[in-house]
Amino acid sequence: MRRAAKTDANQTAIVKALRQIGCTVQSLAAVGEGVPDLLVGAYGQTLLMEIKDGSKPPSRRQLTEDQLAWHGAWTGGPVAIVTDIDGAIRAARAMAAPVEFAI
Task: Kindly report, residue by residue over 66-103, the tens digit of the pLDDT.
Answer: 999 999 999 998 899 999 999 999 999 988 766 666 66
Nearest to 91 by CA among 21, 26, 32, 27: 21
> Within 13 Å, how many C-alpha atoms sit on residue 11's CB side?
20
More confident call, 26 vs 59: 26
Mean pLDDT of the chain: 88
Domain boundaries, the chain: 11-94
What dotted CATH number matches 11-94? Answer: 3.40.1350.10
| Rg, C-alpha atoms of the chain | 14
Nearest to 51 by CA among 8, 6, 1: 8
